[in-house]
Every structure is written in structure tokens, then in C-alpha cells.
Structure 1
Amino acid sequence: MSFDFEMDVLPRVIRAGRYPLADRNFSVSYLNSSTNALHIYDYRGKIRLSGNQYDIAPGTITITPMGTDARYDLEKPGFHYCTHFKFPVQNGKNGNSLSLPLCMDLGESRSAAESKFMNLIWWIQQAGTSPNADHAAALVLQEFLVWLDWINKSRSENFGRKAMTAVAGAAMEIDRRLSREISIPEICHSAGLSQNYLAKLFRSQYGVTMNRYLINRRIEYARHLLECTALPVKEIGTRVGIPDPQHFNKLFRKIARKSPSAFRKNI
């Protein structure tokens, strides 16, 4: 079972907070027909979601889709973070959706998750004083769900914590140095991983090689400059780290399917 949601609509946060629980022997049924629930646990025990049983421990997160029967058997009373939320009714799927497992172990990401959740609680608490609090809470929850998807996919592809950090760091380093000469081996060395290993992880995460990612980002920046400035094409090539006009024109055509000058004329 999984929790599927569309990316192009914001959730509506009904409530969020930190609450006590002391249920034993799956004796209490929680069944909400109108909202989904997300929990981060501080205690140990078991949960049943529509008959499927999962172990829970400090740092476990569960998502209970609306209409799902949830029951607990705790080793001893404790506290959990919880939010109830819903998505607007949609007419069909738009294809831009994510799927999360109903139970995840946050592991080393637990503190980051709790920090994000505290931000959600803070915005809910501002609902009576800020007209934008509900919208801010919706954005925080959506970002949290997308972040969980990233954590889940990274783990399913056998990324370790160090590897995840290294891949993100490599992408950031490429972005910081778009206008300068970039050595892929140097970036791998800075990440503390072999070039072959980092290249494999990077492609698994971003779907392209590091070199193609670099080219894509440079051409994306070049498009921006062509759209928003009157800079000569040669100057734009220099600014995006491709000072050779012929090489810049060739790479731009490869990505954009037209020359820089033709791209500008069609704006």
C-alpha cells in the first residue's frame, strides 16, 4: 500500500501538533473519512493500517490515508507529532504525482524531519494572527512530503547518507561555478568519492551524467540571458562558461534545437 498525491495542488492542513498516546492491544480504532494523517513517533510499538501491521519506533513515520482504519499497540505511553490534512477534489490525474510508503524509518533524517514538522506547527499556531498562515502551512507540508519522497527514493536506490550529501554537493558546486572552468574529477575529489562511484550515484539521482547536467544548466542560464538582456551572444557564451563562440553555438543547438540568435528572435 502507498499514499499517492498530485504535486500541482496544495494540501489543506486541518491541524498539527504533538500529542500523547497510550493505546494497547489494538483496542481503539481511528477511522477518518475526510482527512489523511501523518505521524512521527517518539515511542515503540506496532500499528495496523487496514489490517497491515508495521513496527514503529522513535523516528518512524506513517501516513494514514483517509478512510483507513488505524490501531495501535504500544509498549508504553509516549508522544507523537501528528498532522491531519486533505487535498482538493481533482478531476483525474495530471501525471505529476508522487507515491510514498505508508511506513518509513527516518533514521539519521529524524531530527531534520522533526524540525520541518515544528515549522508546520508554528504556522498552524499563527492562523489567528496572520492571513497567510494557512497558505504557508500548506507550502511547508507539501515541501515536507516532497522531501520524504526524496529520502525514500534515495534509500531505495541504495544511497547512503554520505552519498546523498555528496551528490547534492556536487550539483551545488556545478551551479556555483557555471561561469568558470569546471573539472569533474576535481568535484569528485572534493566529494571524497571516486569519480566512477559519484558518476553512478549522480546519474541515478538526476537522470543524466554530471557533464550533461553541467551543459544543461549552462544552456538554461544562457536562455535566461537571451530572454532578459540585450547582451551579445558571444558575451552570453562567456558568462555561462563557454567562451568559444563556435562551441557555444553547437551546444546551444544541441539542447535548444536552434541557434542562440534564432532563439532570441522567437522570444
Structure 2
Amino acid sequence: MPVQEAALQSFAVPLQHPPVVVDVGHAVHGLSDREERFLLPELYSLHIYDWAGELKIGDRLHRIRPGDLALVPPGTLEAYRYNGPSQHVFAHVRLPAAGPRREIPSVQSLGPDAPRLRARLVAASTAVDPGHRAAEVWSVLWAAATRPSATDASTERQHPAVLAAVDHIDRHLHATLRVDEVARVALASTSHLNRLFVGAFGISVSRYVRRKRADRARHLLRDTLQPISSVAATVGIPDLQAFNKFCRSQLGAPPRALRSGER
């Protein structure tokens, strides 16, 4: 079937109940592959982009620009073409199959609303409570369906150093993350930041980074078609032997077993 560029496309999305948020945060692609494909069989994919490139949703080709929002329903193939390292904030969510639906464009420019809605997804990525996380993502979905919206982005009731550190970790999960560097960005000493993380999450900064990488790797291996080499680079362990060892120690199985659903 021929590709249609910049064609109008929308999806009917059930929004009467909050989503179940499977994963939310920052992602960087185009690190090892200039073209990637994703298919989430059971999850909606919500993205707000910081880059320019191309996205094909099904048979429709879209030009992506910074500040664009994309929503892709379950079982729909996403094909990306990057111009280099490309960052976005995202949420992968499960929505109820039944109930009233609202039409949401597959890709839309958020214009001046982009920073506010992007901040909501960032707030969701730092939220500890699952209900808060779902509420932030739900608000972005409703804004996408009913823009413009006049509500203000909410603030997380956490220490500012924790928020800054979590945001930095999520943005740079693909890179080397040293605790002293994270602490510098968070304007805190290493020991103080570790105490704050233990209070907020029950674990140290370094263990939080390992857990975040493990959770992201598990999700990408099980729920997407992203190549294993690209998954490894995305979570900051580009050496495949080291990534294999990491998956075995943190997730109990090698990457290929996790991808095939054996574990």
C-alpha cells in the first residue's frame, strides 16, 4: 500500500477511566540505528518529541518536529527515521477496551502548550504513587483530545534535589551516570542525595539507576520490537556482553529469553 505523507489520521481512544501506566520517562533513540520499528501489542504509545525526523504510523508518514505529540494505539506499527540522537518523553499505557471514545490526532503540534504538557509527563516519571502517575498521563491524553487546556502543570511533593536527580537520570539513562555527577546536577552532596533517595525510594542512587535500567530494559525487550543492540544502548550498556550479564543478574534471564517471553 502506498505511503501517504502528512495525511490526516486520528484514533478513537477510551478516556473515561485512568490509564494503567506501564512505563513513562525520557528516551533517546538514534544512537546506534537511524531507523527503528516498534510494535506494542497491548499498549498505547504517547510521545512528546524534542527532535525533528520522520514517523510512519501504519501506512501514514508524518514529519516530526520539536513540540509534536504522537499517540499510537495497540497493535499499530511505528517506524522512525532519525537524523541523529533523538530524545522524547513518553508513556506506554493500557486503556480499557470498552467505554465512550474521543478522537485524538495521531500526530499534532502542541504549540505553546508543549512545555506544560511535557512537564506533566516528566512529573509522571518522577511520581512515586501509581495513582499520581496515572493522573498526570491521563491529563495529557485529555489535553490531546480537548486542547487548549488552562490547567497548570502540577508539582511533585518531593525534595527538589530528588526531582532534579531523577529527571537527570531519566534524561541520561543512555549515558554513563556517576553518582557524584548526578549529585552535582541536583545541587546536593553525594551523601545527602543518597540519604534523600533512601528516604524517597528505599534505595541508594546507584541502585536506583540499576533498577531504572533494568525496568526499562525489561519493558523494551518484552513490549517492543526495538533491536537488542538498540535496547542495550538506550539503557546505557551498549556492550552486548555486559548487557547480557546485566540482564542475567538484574532480571534473571538473558535478553533473548526475556524477548521470547521465557522469563
Task: State the TM-score, normalized to the length of structure 1.
Answer: 0.49
More helix by share: 1
Higher relative contact order (CA 8 A, sep 6+): 2
Q: Give the greater-gyration-radius structure (CA).
A: 1
